[in-house]
Amino acid sequence: MSARDSVLGKIRASMGSPASNDDRRKTVTDRLQAAPKGIIPGRAQLPEAEQIDLFCTMAEKFGATLARVSGYADVAAEVSGYLRAHNLPAAIRMGADQRLQEAGWETEKNLELRHGPSDGGDLAGVSHATGGIAETGTVAMMSGQDNPTTINFLPEHHVIVIKASDIRGDMESVWTMVREKQGKGEMPRALNLITGPSRSGDIEQTILLGAHGPRALHVIVVE
């Protein structure tokens, strides 16, 4: 036995740690599965319909604009309306998310669809959120080909589509949902939590929109 093994053995013995690796792995697994949950504020424990309403209220409070549509077939018309209202070109950047592919784009004949990651030359992009956090009006965005992270940050206008049933009361519940969707060992490379448009403030507390990302955020909630 090396000096290192001897020292570690004494440490394990003093802590009452199991001797075998299998026993130690089981101990760690049991602790992870039985980990206590943090305190969840009352406003994050509302009924589902009230959670959705709270999400919409908080998203607007932090500078996002918001629309609620009855189904995915109405998304394309809402996106086109947003572009016209902001005097933007009829062009939108999007990833390969299957839900966005079925968003009724065929009804918007004049709208140009640009696919794949943004190279910084797009004024507007659309993504589909993984989930939403009602207590803060935050959207959770998983990286990947379905919804490239570049669309989150490079276009000046970011349109985010979110399914109402994917809105949860608190951040902890969204992480649980992500783990359940992805499966063990299959987490995305990045997960961005976005609350309102990008903003920054100088020492005089003058707020500047678009400093580190889109200066406008439009959220479409699909009922």
Q: To which residue do tokens 């951040």 refer?
A: 171
pLDDT 10s digit of each residue in the chain, 223 long?
688 888 877 887 777 766 667 777 887 888 777 767 777 777 778 889 999 999 999 999 999 999 999 999 999 999 999 999 999 999 999 999 999 999 999 999 999 999 999 999 999 999 999 999 999 999 999 999 999 999 999 999 999 999 999 999 999 899 888 888 877 777 888 999 999 887 776 666 766 666 677 899 999 999 9
Separation CA 60–CA 5 (nearest Å)? 58
**In the chain, what are the domains?**
3-33 (no CATH), 46-222 (3.40.50.10420)
Separation CA 94–CA 108 (nearest Å)? 15
Task: Return the amino acid letter for 48.
Answer: E
CA 45 to the chain's CA centroid: 20
Separation CA 198–CA 148 (nearest Å)? 17
- The backbone torsions φ and ψ at residue 143, rounded to the nearest 5 degrees and listed phi first, read -75, 165
